[in-house]
Structure 1
């Protein structure tokens, strides 16, 4: 087993080694066509991908454990049959024993030296469906007995297509359950607004003078082995990339002109299955919120149900504003100490379940001690902290009124923002008007429908509560009689 005293890691690869190593992407075109050494020439036909890396170290001969994540780069079927390979430095690629972690979506292999490693796809694997088809033949037939038979070789291509469809269908079925969803599916990308372009234009894009590849299809964008490049939406004049390019520059050339431009990237959300669950539970995704965090907040709808009570409002506010904290209780044989004031005990959940009154104690500093559960398990503890609630009609709440009003009693900018926000997300008025230009009748001809921001020095309107406005009061003949 490899000595893992040293760990090299980035977003694309993790290497455990016995001596320090460095790693960088390297796609050497001179060795892509070199032979891949395999035992089975019929059902092992490996082809290179762009996921190749050069590992360097002062100690070339050493044990390495290489882990490469493949989420959003390979499909489930591709990952199942691909392998990590190593170039021997002479003329051949060596296939390594590769383990697949479908949950974490990683591929792991062990190497005995530094050099160039990469992922190769098996372009023609032996599908288990092939044998299922062959089993329909009599026991004595060669087509049923051997995968080397011409019949199984013929069926295998169709079996590969069926297996691919089965894998994709299984993935679609898993999207019906939020806990089975892959949190690594694309959620946020970057978008660049482009000037007027046409499909006939010659386009080139650069990041700090490095060319940015243009991706032709949505499939290649969502399963991008380079994790770079971008796809162009000509109709809306936009370019989408999976990573942010800080020094984005574009060039346009056609028969009329040649021009260049620069543009800043903006985050853009990709609607996915998590957003479907959010729509179902009335929990929209927050700006730049990742799938894993969003999933927990969706499940908090059931852990912390909101309603109009004091407790329900606390739950709803904390969930909508992402104020629910989570900590990992590594060993529940030991007590857990939640430090810091402002934690309400009734908001504590252990693995989603409420905490019983006898399961905790509060010390003299207001800190909470959760009693050991004595099961030896690792648990997730969630709680709500620092949520303040104020009653808007309570004028004795000085802290609130300092926020809402200025020293002269006029509405503060904060209160104006609140009013504008409420009018935007939950409008109850039909419109607004200028006092010296006319009136807007919201209910009937007898009411003016005047709305205003409150002032703490406002006089009582009780004397005017029975007043009605008659727009035709000057038309009656009795008005002009003395």
Structure 2
């Protein structure tokens, strides 16, 4: 058959072009896509393309966000009851039209409307989600041997990647549920996580029963209206739960407003950065001795933010005092807009070439609140409330209606009265409930026994054998973290750990490469780093380390010449060698090009097949992969080149240690390598997560190369009221933080009390614990002013009310 060009049925593959590009340029096959050779290669390339597509699709289908929604989920089947011969051909008519009968599952899945026959089970499968009005099975003679209608067809579920993902979170596909709806329910498991709390049970049941409803909050609509019987705790805008200040509950609806409360926001005081300001009785005020002060809020972030509109500020501002607000970049100490007051618009004004240009702030922000007064005789201004209004974009709002799920029915008095008869015996309704529970959850013998119950633990079908843990089952996290090495990557992650070694609460950080800093500098974290030092290399440019580098981790070598490069050149016997060899074809010019840069020209050897030698011109070398030769080799000459990369090394593992060979002599050598063979985790002993030793129960762990300075402190006393009897006590916790809100360690913290005795009890992480002991007597109720500070001058104050005893004693 003549070749008529590439077309839809025989397209030209990119792989064919790549293969042809690697052929010698003098071949027609390398330059002519229509050549017989390229047509031949293209047949294999198209097969590989199909394999690539299948592999990529399998990889994509591992993730809920990119899995193929077009995967077959439901087909229709009908039982015809005839013993058909697989060697004969049959036709199928559906709805009066003949459908394509295929012989392989792949053809069946890929062709909508096709049919396939199951000869063993006497079934017809049709690639359609909806039954046909009529079905006919026709033999090869054209005779109708079986007919069916809608009632003879039933849905048949085809297990696909979404069912696998649902299995991981304890969800089963509902009858007839498509991939898109099922994927939404799977995602809702994470958006509305179920647990044993009241709302946790509602979330879990709503996800299982597809009772999570959604509407679109359209762009620039000031309010989104929800049904009045909505569970307030279930409202989510995008991926975040709604904020209380956003909601307005009316008689007939729940409305979401496009306003966000910035202060007070039910956040701990330490979430705000205070500078000569205090939060007293829920208001921001100046410190007693301060003329001006600043408080910076945490980051304010809204998923459906188009841009910020106005500042809403409620403040008490005595005469000659001032309060203003700056809208700051969410991370940098840069102001978008400065000196806003109540009602001002959040608009940035720029003047370029005499022209005024305005634009709205459309990103996450922080607010910097500034307070001032002429002197301390003036009453401090106070800020009671700060809000920001915003313009919204389109957002999906999800919620759960109260009439969909009710959990508190058993607590309803009227309902409880219906469960028993006047004489106290169980009513028929209670018996029906008991029977239904017994039928649906057969873990009791036959039925409820009103004064006692027995667990049926004998039947293996009820023991959970061969069943994956359900998402609502009790968590095994604590067991797993204690006895197993948890992680992803390789077989070591599945190894049962030594319980004696895992009995502590130290963090285990996966070893590997980490990138940090503005320039994303590369760092490597070893599980068990070992460092050895040498004054200089020996006469063979070698040193021998005592251990063997493990786990394929990098070996870091630092000398007077800086950090060295590890190379992996191989000789003819496949042993590591410090010298690399290449064969280069001369092009008639003085220059040749090798694979590597930064070459050591003192160790370059160049010969040809006639044993002619060539000398590299050192004075013309510019550290690239280009070398100029003398004499100039003739065009087509085959040159054998051996060379070394400057400041490089190789490692040869031996029975007792390893030998490191350098490309040249090295001095003041520092070698760091991985010395752990049984774990891929670095154990951090300076930080503990033992709940009996630390107050931290949430947050993030950062791997940093330095500890920040304390710039903010918080103090809390419990109780904050004691009696002056000489032995009443209060525990005072002082927490220290750096400028980013990360905890900092301060072992030199000190504290003073205006009355009573203050004693440092313990320091754990960023928390210092003091014990306050009340004085034996005072005349009147008095506040004990407590002041705590660290050496850099950062301090915090709190107070404890000391109440006088009877008669002032």
Find the partner of 1:361 among 234, 240, 248. Answer: 248
Instruction: Name which of 361, 384, 390 aligns with 2:400.
Output: 384
Give structure 2 stretches of 5+ with no counterpart: 260-303, 307-391, 458-809
Q: Would the aligned equivalents of 1:195 and 1:237 in 2 still touch at CA under 8 Å?
A: yes
Q: Tell me the CA shift for residue 388 of structure 1.
A: 3.8
Q: CA RMSD in A?
A: 3.6
Matched position secondary structure for 1:271: coil
Alignment-derived partner of residue 290 in structure 2: none
Deviations 1:175-234 (A, max 9, x none): 11111112122111111122132226775544454444433221221111xx32421112
For residue 428 of structure 1, the aligned residue among 436, 439, 443 is 443
Secondary structure of 2:406's partner?
coil
Q: Which residue of 1 aligns with 2:78?
A: 192
Asked whether the 8 Å contact 1:250–1:260 carries over to 2, the reply is yes
Number of aligned residues: 315
Taking the TM superposition and a 5 Å limit, the aligned residue runs for 1:124-143 are: 124-143=10-29
State the match for 2:239 in structure 1.
352
Q: Does the aligned pair in 1 maintain the 2:94–2:132 contact within 8 Å?
A: yes
Cα distance in 1, alignment partners of residues 10 and 401 from structure 2: 56
Give the equivalent residue in structure 2 for 1:327. 215
Bigger drift between 214-223 and 166-175 goes to 214-223
Q: Normalized per residue, which structure has more helix?
A: 1
1:234 and 2:119 are equivalent in the alignment: yes
| Gap change, CA 1:442 and 1:170, over 3 Å in 2 | closer
Give the 3-state SS of the residue equivalent to 1:262 in structure 2.
Answer: strand
1:342 lines up with 2:229 in the alignment = yes
CA drift at 1:129: 0.2
Separation (CA, whole Å) in 1 of partners of 2:258 and 2:174: 34
Shift, 1:42, TM fit? 2.1
Q: Which residue of 1 aligns with 2:62?
A: 176
Q: Which secondary structure does the structure 2 equivalent of 1:41 belong to?
A: coil
Task: Output the CA distance in 1 between the equivalents of 2:184 and 2:25.
Answer: 53
CA distance in structure 1 between the partners assigned to 2:66 and 2:456 by the alignment: 51
Distance 1:286 1:276, change over 3 A: same
297-306 vs 358-367, greater mean Cα deviation: 358-367
**What is the rounded CA distance, in whole Å, between the counterparts of 2:434 and 2:428 in structure 1?**
10
SS of the residue 1:180 aligns to: coil
Check the 8 A contact 1:363/1:369 in 2, yes or no.
Answer: no
Greater displacement, 241-250 / 281-290: 241-250
**Residue 202 (structure 2) pairs with residue 314 (structure 1):** yes
C-alpha spacing 1:238/1:422, structure 2 compared with 1 (3 Å): farther
Contact 2:444 2:454 in 1 (8 A): no
Contact residue 390 and residue 400 of structure 1 kept, 8 A: no
Q: Are 1:293 and 2:310 an aligned pair?
A: no
Match of 1:69 in 2: none
Separation of aligned partners in 2, 1:148 and 1:186? 38
- Residues 1:239 and 1:144: Cα distance change in structure 2 (over 3 Å): same
- Cα displacement string for residues 56-82 of structure 1 (whole angstroms, at most 9, x for unaligned residues): xxxxxxxxxxxxxxxxxxxxxxxxxxx
CA contact (8 A) 1:334 1:374 kept: no
Q: Distance in 1 between matches of 2:446 and 2:140?
A: 50
Question: Aligned to 1:385, what secondary structure does the other structure show?
Answer: coil
Match status 1:411 vs 2:411: no
What TM-score does the superposition give when structure 2 sets the normalisation length? 0.35
Aligned to 2:5: 42
Q: Is the 8 A contact 2:438 2:448 kept in 1?
A: no
Q: Considering only CA atoms, is the larger Rg found in Structure 1 or Structure 2?
A: 2
Q: Provide the secondary structure at the position in 1 that maps to 2:227.
A: coil
CA change 1:323–1:193 in 2 (3 A) is: same
Change (3 A) 1:307 1:175: same
Moved more, 276-285 or 157-166: 157-166
Offset, 1:286? 1.2
Post-superposition Cα deviations, 1:134-173, rounded to whole Å, max 9, x if no partner, equal 2222345443333234432321111111111111111111
Q: Distance in 2 between matches of 1:335 and 1:310?
A: 32
In 2, are the aligned partners of 1:213 and 1:228 still within 8 Å (CA)? yes
Sort the Cα spacing of 1:388 and 1:156 in 2 relative to 1 into closer, same or farther, 3 A: closer
Matched, 1:277 2:165: yes
Shift in alpha-carbon separation, 1:140–1:301, aligned structure 2, 3 A: same
Contact 2:235 2:400 in 1 (8 A): yes
Considering fraction of residues, name the structure with more strand: 2
SS in 2 for 1:157: helix
Contact in 1 for aligned 2:410/2:416 (Cα 8 Å): no
What does 1:46-125 correspond to in 2, within 5 Å?
122-125=8-11
Q: Map Cα deviations across residues 113-136 of structure 1 (whole Å, 9 max, x no partner).
A: xxxxxxxxx221110001111222
* CA separation of 1:421 and 1:353: change in aligned 2, threshold 3 A: farther
Distance 2:47 2:138 in 1: 41
Aligned-partner Cα distance in 2 for 1:405–1:269 = 44
Query: Partners of 1:174 and 1:443 in 2: how far apart?
Result: 44
Give, in whole Å, the separation in 2 of the partners of 1:253 and 1:152: 45
1:420 and 1:321, CA in 2 relative to 1: closer, same or farther beyond 3 A?
Answer: farther
Task: Determine the C-alpha separation between the residues in 2 that align with 1:270 and 1:174.
Answer: 19
User: TM-score, normalising length from structure 1?
Assistant: 0.57
- CA distance in 2 between counterparts of 1:196 and 1:172 reads 37
| Alpha-carbon distance between aligned partners in 1 of 2:178 and 2:225, rounded to the nearest angstrom | 26
Distance 1:442 1:367 in 2: 45
Q: Secondary structure at the match of 1:320?
A: helix
Aligned partner of 1:145 in structure 2 is 31
| Greater RCO structure (CA 8 Å; 6+ sep) | 1
Work out the CA distance in 1 between the residues paired with 2:438 and 2:48.
54
